[in-house]
Structure 1
Amino acid sequence: MTILRTPDESEVAGLAAELYAEDREHLGYVPSHTRAMALNPEAVRAFEALIKSVAPGLGMRRYELVTLAAAGALRSTACRLAHGQKSLKYIDAGELERIARDFRTAGLPADEVAMMEFAERLSLDSSAMTEADAATLRDHGFSDREIVDITIAAAARNFYSRSLHALGVEVDVPPKLEPDLREALLAGMADRPAQ
């Protein structure tokens, strides 16, 4: 439970109220992470702008795969669940469940596995990475721009997930998330070291 006092919907105004309204419209509720991060709504909009600068170049499927890999490595329950729900727009539920359990054995193309491994490695120990890590992406056909976008997408997830961890933000379970998928999203993090 966070130490932050997060305002109720009736108490917010301006940009924070816009963020609450957008979540209410798209999700049907305002998650805890929005309530916490909306204390600095300008930072939320800057984060969204960053994501909008990388996601289209990767495609939303690949952006979500990178996000899920990074969130799993970080043991970010909030981001795994939220992006598990978002991923259903781009990935079939059965495939997503297999990916969530273990993306390496989910039947993904080799380039998507390499991309997710890169995001996972960045999230676990970026200081140990070398040019060989990016070269692996190039060997799988990614352009320089795509390599940069994969890196930014994974690093951005680190920023957001680690912020939620540091602030002790309560984890919301998206109400529309099916129990089997929810369990797979969480089980896929079980063998990762706590971060």
Structure 2
Amino acid sequence: MTILKMTPEAEASGLTAEIYDDDRRSLGYVPSHTKAMSLNPEAYMAWESLIKAISSSLGLRRYELVTLAAAQGIGSTHCRLAHGKKMLSMLGEDELIAIARDFHTAGLSEAEVAMMDYALKLSTDAASMTDNDAQKLRDFGFSDREIADITFAAAARNYISRSVLAMGVDLDVPEGVSDELQKALLSPLPQMQSKLAAPRKRSAGD
């Protein structure tokens, strides 16, 4: 539980009230992480604008897959649950459970797996990244702008996830997330170092 005093919903005013209202409209409730980040509502709105610019350019499916991978690398249960719930509007629960457990074996395209590997590495060991990491994405057909957007999406997730973790924000479990999906989303980070290090083979159809 955070020691920070967040603004109660009944006492919210101005920009903070607008942020809370937006979450109530889109999610049906105001998550604890929204309340914590709204301690500086101007900064939170700037982050929201950044996310919209990135996701609209990258595409929502790719953005959410990158987000799941980055959140897994960070160990952010808050973002894994929140974005797992969002992805239920795009994917069936069984497919999402498979992705949450290990996206390498979930039936995603090789390009999507490479994109998520990149986000995972950025979130666990960014200092070790080289041009080879971007080249792997280029080899799968990603444009330079798409590579930049993947990078920005993962880096932006690091900002929000690490902020929420550092502040000790309570974990909210969104309605509609089954026990099985929760378990998959909250499972510890799999041992993926060998998969990250090994070059991925492209199929003849790619």
TM-score category of the 2 structures, normalised to the smaller one: over 0.9
Q: How many residues align?
A: 193
Equivalence for 2:109: 109
Hey, what's the Cα distance between the residues in 2 that align with 1:179 and 1:26?
22
CA distance in 1, matches of 2:92, 2:175: 18
User: Structure 1: where are the runs of 5+ without partners?
Assistant: none
| TM-superposition CA deviations, 1:25-77 (whole Å, max 9, x none) | 22221110011011111111111111111112221011000000000011100
Let me know the Cα RMSD of the aligned residues: 1.4
Would the alpha carbon gap of residues 188 and 58 (structure 1) be closer, same or farther in structure 2, given more than 3 Å must change? farther
Q: Does structure 2 conserve the Cα–Cα contact (< 8 Å) formed by 1:81 and 1:173?
A: yes
Q: 1:190, CA displacement in angstroms?
A: 5.7
CA contact (8 A) 2:102 2:190 kept: no
Structure 1 position 74 matched with structure 2 position 74: yes
Taking the aligned partners of 2:191 and 2:38, their CA distance within structure 1 comes to 32
The structure having more radius of gyration, on CA atoms, is 2
Corresponding residue number in structure 2 for 1:53: 53
Pair 1:177-2:177 in alignment: yes
* Of 6-15 and 138-147, the range deviating more from structure 2: 6-15
Q: Percent identity?
A: 58
Paired position in structure 2 for 1:126:
126
Aligned partners of 1:116 and 1:167: how far apart in 2? 26
Paired residues of 1:9 and 1:17 also in contact (CA < 8 A): yes
Aligned-partner SS, 1:96: helix
Q: Is the 8 A contact 2:137 2:147 kept in 1?
A: yes
Instruction: Quote the offset at 1:91 in angstroms.
Output: 2.0
Amino acid at match of 1:5: K
Q: TM-score, normalised by structure 2?
A: 0.90
Letter in structure 1 aligned against 2:181 = L
Aligned to 1:64: 64
Q: Secondary structure at the match of 2:186?
A: helix
Q: Deviations over 1:120-159 (max 9, x none)?
A: 0000010100000000000000000000000000000000
1:40 match: 40
Give the whole-Å Cα distance in 1 for the aligned partners of 2:142 and 2:56. Answer: 15
Residue type of the partner of 1:99? Answer: I
Q: 1:68, 1:80 within 8 Å by CA — same for their partners in 2?
A: yes
CA contact (8 A) 1:102 1:188 kept: no
Name 1:4's counterpart in structure 2: 4
The answer for the alignment partner of 2:137 in structure 1 is 137
Structure 2 portions without partners, runs of 5+: 193-206
Contact 1:69 1:120 in 2 (8 A): yes
Report if aligned partners of 1:60, 1:90 keep a CA contact under 8 Å in 2.
no
Name segments (4+ residues, structure 1) moved above 2 Å: 188-192
Q: 1:18 maps to which residue?
A: 18
Q: C-alpha separation between the residues in 1 aligned to 2:188 and 2:65?
A: 13
What is the Cα deviation at residue 18 of structure 1? 0.8
